[in-house]
Amino acid sequence: MVGVPEQRPASAGVLTPPEAVFAPVRSYTAFEETVERLGTAIKLGLLAPGSRLPAERELCARLGIARSTLRQALTALGQSGHVFATRGRRGGTFVSDPQPPADPPSAEMLAQWRQTCDQRLAVELGVAMLAAQRAEPADLDALDEVAETLEATLEDFAAYRQADIRLHVGLAEATRSPRLVQAATEAQGAMSDLIAYIAHPPQVLASSNAQHRRLLAAVREGDALRAVRAMAEHLQGTEHVLAGLLPGH
């Protein structure tokens, strides 16, 4: 048995690898992932208060996990007050109404707020461009309806934010790219923790709505570049507001 390797270590290339290559790997458990998914959907209002989740036996099949794992997740969401379950023939797991108050953003969250915004920017720029290229008339009609809701809720921030989320997720759905919908949902979820804790006077919401209108108009015309520009202005507006209130260097 010769100990001589067929290959000799060469003198390394000049280029140093990005340090991101050796950054910590985080392994998510099925339990965590499920709590995150359902919890985010609930907090974003994608699962409406009072609505019923699919039956456990069906839901675990859809999610591709064991029922016991799903039950752990549902138990956690139950303990935090986001869902409750009733037994018996017409029973099921339901989204609580009203929802428990959101908890304040963690220190870790606050420390990384800029990266969170960056990530959302990327996702939403992609969504804007692809939606402009692919949205069908039916999508646009649905989005217009949401936009009307937005115009009508300037005074009620909770309702406004709700409709805002619907608009952005709806735009993502118009791209017909499930992964983008997923990414957009996650990004909105991460942002919500930040957005819920800053003041939003009606005037800010009104200017936000003007950007929404421009965005939808560009999407309707299929003008991808204008859509991207409108989205960028929209997002960087809220980013400026955050920058003024958070410890962001």
Partner DNA sequence: GATTGAAGGGCGGATGTCCAAACCTTTTCT
Partner DNA sequence: AGAAAAGGTTTGGACATCCGCCCTTCAATC
Half-sphere CA count of 28, side-chain side, radius 13 A = 8
Binding to DNA (CB under 7 A) within 83-122 occurs at 85-93
Tell me which amino acid residue 152 is. A
Residue in 1, 2, 11, 199 binding its own copies, rule: CB under 8 A? 11
Residue 166, phi-psi category: left (phi > 0), alpha (psi -120 to 50), beta (remainder): alpha
Which of these segments, 54-62, 121-129, 172-180, 236-244, binds DNA (CB under 7 A)?
54-62
Site membership for its own copies, residue 173 (CB under 8 A): yes
The span from the CA of 32 to the CA of 206, in Å, is: 37
Q: How far is the CB of 33 from DNA (least distance, A)?
A: 7
Which of these segments, 7-15, 61-69, 159-167, 181-189, binds DNA (CB under 7 A)?
61-69
Find which of its own copies, DNA, none residue 150 binds, CB within 5 to 8 Å per kind: none
Which of these, 227, 217, 208, 237, lies nearest to 126 by C-alpha position? 227
Q: How far is the CB of 232 from DNA (least distance, A)?
A: 37
Site membership for its own copies, residue 221 (CB under 8 A): no
Nearer to DNA by Cβ, of 16 and 79: the residue is 79
Partner residues linked to 95 by β-bridges: 83
Tell me which amino acid residue 22 is. F
Which of these, 180, 163, 164, 170, lies nearest to 136 by C-alpha position? 170
Which of these segments, 103-111, 123-131, 152-160, 207-215, binds its own copies (CB under 8 A)?
123-131
**What are the two backbone dihedrals, phi and then psi, of residue 217, each rounded to the nearest 5 degrees?**
-60, -45
Site string for DNA, 6-45 (x = CB under 7 A): ---------------------x-xxxx-------------
The span from the CA of 135 to the CA of 117, in Å, is: 25
Residue in 41, 110, 140, 241 binding its own copies, rule: CB under 8 A? 41
Residue in 38, 45, 72, 242 binding DNA, rule: CB under 7 A? 72
Which of these, 131, 152, 133, 154, lies nearest to 143 by C-alpha position? 131
Contacts with its own copies by CB under 8 A: the residue count is 74
**Which positions ≥6 away from 181 have C-beta within 8 Å?**
169, 172, 173, 175
The span from the CA of 143 to the CA of 57, in Å, is: 34
Residue in 232, 241, 243, 246 binding its own copies, rule: CB under 8 A? 232
Site membership for its own copies, residue 68 (CB under 8 A): no
Binding site for DNA (CB under 7 A): 3, 27, 29-32, 53, 55-58, 64-69, 71-72, 74, 85-93
